[in-house]
Chain A
Amino acid sequence: MSFPHRHELETTTILSQYHGDAEARTLAGWLERGGYERLRTAAMMEPDEITGVVKDSGLRGRGGAGFPTGLKWSFMPKDDGKPHYLCCNADESEPGAFKDREILRWTPHLLIEGCMIAARAIRAEHVYIYVRGEFFPYTRILNEAVTEAYDGGYLGDDVMGTGWTCDVTVHAGAGAYIAGEETGLMNSLMGDRAEPWMKPPFPAQAGVFGLPTTVNNVETLATVPGILEHGAEWYRQWGTEKSPGTKLWCCSGHLAKPGNYELALGVPLEDIIYDVCGGTPNGKTVRAVIPGGSSTAFLTADELDCATTYEGLQEVGSSLGTASPIVMDESTCLLRAMRRVAQFYAHESCGQCVQCREGTAWVARILERIEAGDGELRDIDTLYELCVQMTGRTICVLADSVVFPLRSSLDKFRDEYEAHIRTGSCTAR
């Protein structure tokens, strides 16, 4: 099972309280646990009031970008008279991230409640929950929950007797990481290739079906009911001024206790790795950590004392991302690891922009060749140059995403590259 092992280290349970509790996913069980009362409140609040609370809470998007959620909601038009849409991004495909799955399968009603409250705030009357296609078992659970919620009058016409109408549709993807990018998601929802588009137009001006849309991550939306119930100040009791609240961590790689843990933001990364997750199995030392999912920069073993906030990880040259540390012990060939990461991006590039379409594959080919023993020292210079030309040149940031781990691996583990190039050997133990 993957519900979090309880740990004393500032563990919170505002999101994860019912993870592992099979009752909580039923409507009856959810109601017993106080569910949908927050929705009732929200259904009778003014939209901008709800946005105000979320803005004050400082909640930041949990899909990796960390954009302030209340601010994003405030971009939506207030009285344009057009239909608005909320898209819940459940296309969790970032290597290392596996937190949204927990919410979908243990507390689907929490997500539904959060979606409905957010829809109210942005004046939407239709929510699309875009779930990655591979999540068959969890989509089924979500579907059950949505059906029950409709039957119980919590969705659809006259929500909970308040006169407000809002629908929820579960929409499954079909296998494309780039459908997790907000404009790629919207294109995919509309039945097109999941190709991101140039902004402007911004989603809040013209998103799905050309209408004002907000896209939010599962974890972000699941946090909203708690904030509405307890208030912004309550949420700010955890974390820091710039990074308030708690986070569902996804810890993977070489760990004794990998899995999901909910922690207040700000806990030192090394505490998460060594205390919460028990460090590496088999007593090996940590060699490198990618802290936020594969689109973030490598950290070495002695850079792990940073605070796990958005600003804290930025200060050490990486980023919080989806809070998904991938831990690599001393037996890891970092060149092979980077090669596999590059192959992921090459596979997932949508293909529009040449820097990404050709660049990700070129990076992967170079790394494969070095791994096979045919590398040259100038390959390192080439890789550095590719980092420059693949940053800030494209419609979306998939190309930039491969640059973060690539450049940091070149900076911090150059000896690994050189060992493979010069002698064909590896520095892993």
Chain B
Amino acid sequence: MAEQEARDTVTLTVDGVAVTVPKGSPVIEAAERAGVVVPRYCYHPGIPTAPAQCRMCLVEIEGQPKLQPSCVLQAQDGMSILTASETAEKARQAVIEFLLVNHPLDCPICDAAGQCMLQDYAYETRQLYSRVNEAKAVMGRDRVAEDILYFPDRCIICTRCVRFMRDVADDDALIVAHRGHKSYIDTFPGRELDNEFRGNIVDVCPVGALVHEDFVFKARAWDMDSAIGVCPGCSTGCNVTVDTKENQIVRLKPRHNAEVNSYWMCDYGRKHLVMANRGVRAEVPLVRTDERLQPTDWTSALDRVAARIEAVRGSGGVAVVSPDSSNENLFFLGELAAYLGISRIEFRVPTGRTAALPGVPTLQLRADRAANGVGAELLGGTRVDAPPSVSPGEVLIVLDDALEDAPAELGVEAGFFLYIGSRLPLAARGADAVLPIAWFAEMDGTFTNFEGRVQRFHQALQPPGIARPAWMVISRLLQRLGAGGPGVSDIESAFAAAAAGSAALAGLSWESLGHKGRIAPGMESVESAGANAG
């Protein structure tokens, strides 16, 4: 067995460190296993082609005079690689110097500043002096898509964008035009990219040659905070980084997850979140007093709501939940519904067009435009199409549904209408109480994606006013009702409670989910997720 394994692997040294890698691995990957990140531009682990044309990853094979590109150099037994020999370092410096021959050095107005691989490597290689004494070529600015601008002056012709479109998106719409020092990236004249995954070319661009038009000049790299998250746009659940500035989301970037979205995400996901969270927010608890909703503090609000709940217990009713709610929110809502004797928990999922990324079968823009439709179902909800309705005298509890398709008088004749939500839509103004909660970007939590993968997301923004996560709010209601343990104050405990109380999450813990998520044991074949995967 060991011999078989030995035949399938090779052992080499990189900068003196021995590593064993699968046969056929490029040296650049072997180097990473040895803890060395060889600088590179054209090589990208998510793009299947490596043209070895940027020449940045040249390394020295000990004993051989000619440097070799490590992205295509295959690791061999006994090879000794020097990534930082004097020749290799000088070659790298020369690449930087060549790249800067015609580069405009417009960092002060370039969005990539602070997150630019040209800047980074210029510092790393200590190539801080240029001998160029010539006028620079000026090539202006081009629009390659309605929302993506291209600056040929900054372009280093690494062709990552071209190869992403051709080899991952299977849409050969971006090409290199002309040749030599007159090269630039272009579409067919008069046409623009309209692929649903075109935004990824901005992410792969090592420099600021490709920029999103709706991000241009919006935020500097060092002004932004980042949080690890999951895109709530559809049931795929692409892993993302949420970039914020001054408590606003300014950008989403995909985060690598080999099981879900590789290195990519769709444009719908990138954009819709930035436009979301508009509208009036619920910021303080409101309780109906003298016919009007009056603001009050949490303690009073929770006391009075608990009292009303005791009074209407057993009246029947319906809970209307948003499929964008986190698993923890849904679990505690389920507990509350159970206490009230409400068996109907409904959710509606908006749908839209689909789009696939041929190079990554698991990554699609799926029809279900909900972050946690699967979680909602697994935690006791039922998917419905009809608008919400409640019979007179019954209880209506709403968890964060915007009630857009609800009749205006929804809940007016309800025995008790409790609105737990982040926003304050018109339909909620008939509620007996409004408990303000954090929107997903303002809290920690988990979503379950189309295949049952439970993935964590983390707080990126401060909630407004005194809004709090729904699980925190509802657990304290339950505490007052004597129907649960003590109020939950941290996400680990919230998740633990949900995992203990539902088959969908059993066997998982907040910590065990890590940053790439896991499929709950026993949930490997999620039938209903299959139905929602369309």
Does a CB–CB distance below 8 Å link A and B in the complex? yes
A355–B181 alpha-carbon span in the complex (Å): 11
Q: Does B54 contact A (CB under 8 A)?
A: yes
The answer to whether A358 touches B102 (Cβ under 8 A) is yes
Instruction: Decide if A352 is an interface residue (CB 8 Å cutoff).
Output: yes
Are B134 and A354 in contact, with the CB atoms below 8 A?
no
A349 pairs with B180, CB closer than 8 A = yes
Binary per-residue interface labels of chain A (347-359) against chain B in the complex, 1 for a CB within 8 Å, 0 otherwise: 1111111110111
Q: Is B412 on the interface with A (CB-CB < 8 A)?
A: no
Separation of A289 and B90 alpha carbons in the complex (Å)? 33
> Does A389 count as interface, using CB distance less than 8 angstroms?
yes
- B179: chain A residues at CB < 8 Å are 176, 193, 349-351
B47 CB-CB contact with A under 8 Å: no
- Give the distance in Å from the alpha carbon of A393 to the alpha carbon of B66 in the complex: 8
User: How many angstroms between the C-alpha atoms of A175 and B176 in the bound complex?
Assistant: 17
Determine if B55 and A193 form an interchain contact, defined as CB atoms under 8 angstroms apart.
no
**Which of B51, B95, B133 has the most C-beta atoms of chain A within 10 angstroms of its own C-beta?**
B133
- Set of chain B residues within 8 Å of A348, measured between Cβ atoms: 180
Interface membership of B215, Cβ < 8 A: no
- State whether A392 touches B52 (Cβ < 8 A): no
Instruction: Kindly report which residue of chain A lies nearest to residue B132, judged by CB atoms.
Output: A362
Q: Is B181 touching A360 in the complex (CB atoms < 8 A)?
A: yes
Residues of B with C-beta under 8 A to A346: 180-181
Give how many B residues have a beta carbon under 8 Å from the other chain's beta carbons.
Answer: 33
CA distance A394 to B94 in the complex (A): 12
- A355 engages B98 (CB within 8 Å): yes
Decide: B180 and A393 in contact? CB cutoff 8 A: no
A385 at the interface (CB under 8 A from B): yes
* Residues 182-224 of chain A, each 1 if its beta carbon lies under 8 Å from chain B, else 0: 0000000000010001100000000000000000000000000
Q: How far is the CA of A353 from the CA of B159 in the complex (A)?
A: 11
The A-contacting residues of B in range 84-104, CB under 8 angstroms, are 90-91, 94-95, 97-99, 101-102
B183 contacts A351, CB within 8 Å? yes
B131 adjacent to A365 (CB under 8 Å): no
Given A359-B98, A369-B134, A393-B67, CB of A354 within 8 Å of CB of B180: no
Query: With A and B bound together, what is the CA distance between A193 and B180 in angstroms?
Result: 12
Interface string of A8-28 (1 = CB under 8 A from B): 000000000000000000000
CB distance from B313 to the nearest CB of A (A): 73
The reply on A378 being an interface residue by CB < 8 A is yes
- Taking a contact as CB atoms under 8 Å apart, the answer to whether A392 and B65 are in contact is yes
- Cβ proximity bits B177-199 to A, threshold 8 Å, 1 near / 0 not: 01111110000000000000000
Residue of B nearest to A398 (CB): B180
Residues of A within 8 A of B180 (CB): 346-351, 357, 360-361
Q: Which residues of B contact A376 (CB under 8 A)?
A: 133
Complex alpha-carbon distance, A361 and B157, angstroms: 15
Check B134–A366 contact: CB distance below 8 A: yes
- B residues near A389, Cβ cutoff 8 Å: 90-91, 94, 97-98
Interface string of A374-400 (1 = CB under 8 A from B): 001011001001000100111100000
**CB proximity of B423 to chain A, nearest CB, Å:** 52
* Residues of chain A lying within 8 A (CB to CB) of residue B176: 193, 351
Task: Out of B69, B98, B131, B178, name the residue touching A354 (CB < 8 Å).
Answer: B98
Provide the main secondary structure of the chain A interface: helix
Q: Does B58 touch A at the CB level, under 8 Å?
A: yes
Distance A389 CA – B134 CA, assembled complex (angstroms): 19
Whether B156 is near chain A, meaning CB under 8 Å from some CB there, is yes
Q: A393 to B181, Cβ gap below 8 A?
A: no
Query: Hey, which chain B residues are within 8 Å of A394, CB to CB?
Result: 55
Which residue of A176, A198, A358, A395 contacts B181 across the interface (Cβ within 8 Å)? A358
Interface assignment of B502: CB less than 8 Å from any CB of chain A: no
- Could you tell me if A385 and B131 are in contact, using CB atoms closer than 8 angstroms? yes
Distance of B372 from chain A, by nearest CB (Å): 46
B181:A361 contact, CB within 8 angstroms: yes
With a CB–CB cut-off of 8 A, which chain A residues contact B72?
198
**Contact (Cβ within 8 A) A354 B54:** yes
Task: Give the contacting residue for A395; candidates B53, B65, B132; CB below 8 A.
Answer: B53
Q: Tell me the complex Cα distance, A385–B176, Å.
A: 29
A392 touches B101 (CB 8 A): no
Within 8 Å CB of B178, what residues of A? Answer: 351
- Among residues of B, the one whose C-beta sits closest to the C-beta of A198 is B52
A351 to chain B, nearest CB (A): 4
A349, A351, A389: most-surrounded residue (chain B CB, <10 A): A351
| Closest CB in chain B relative to A423 CB, distance in Å | 19
Query: Per a CB cutoff under 8 Å, which of B55, B66, B131, B183 touches A355?
Result: B55
Most buried by A among B51, B72, B180: B180
Cα–Cα, bound, A376→B132 (Å):
12
Q: Which chain B positions have C-beta within 8 A of A197?
A: 51
Chain B residue numbers with a CB within 8 Å of A360 are 180-181
* Contact between A378 and B131, CB atoms less than 8 A apart: yes
Q: Are A352 and B53 in contact (CB under 8 A)?
A: yes
> In the complex the two chains form, is B156's CB within 8 Å of A395's CB?
no
Which residues of B lie under 8 Å from residue A349 when comparing CB positions?
179-181
**Within the assembled complex, what's the spacing in Å between the Cα atoms of A366 and B66?**
27
Known: A389-B97, A395-B53. 4 other contacts (CB 8 A): A354-B99, A357-B180, A389-B94, A393-B94
Enumerate 23 A-B pairs (CB-CB under 8 Å) in ascending A order. A197-B51, A346-B180, A347-B180, A349-B179, A349-B180, A349-B181, A350-B180, A351-B176, A353-B54, A354-B55, A354-B95, A354-B98, A354-B156, A357-B157, A362-B98, A362-B101, A365-B134, A366-B133, A366-B134, A389-B91, A389-B98, A393-B58, A395-B53
B contact set with A: CB distance below 8 Å: 51-55, 58, 65-67, 69, 72, 90-91, 94-95, 97-99, 101-102, 131-134, 156-157, 176, 178-183
Which 3 pairs between the two chains have the least Cβ-Cβ distance? A389-B94, A349-B180, A352-B53
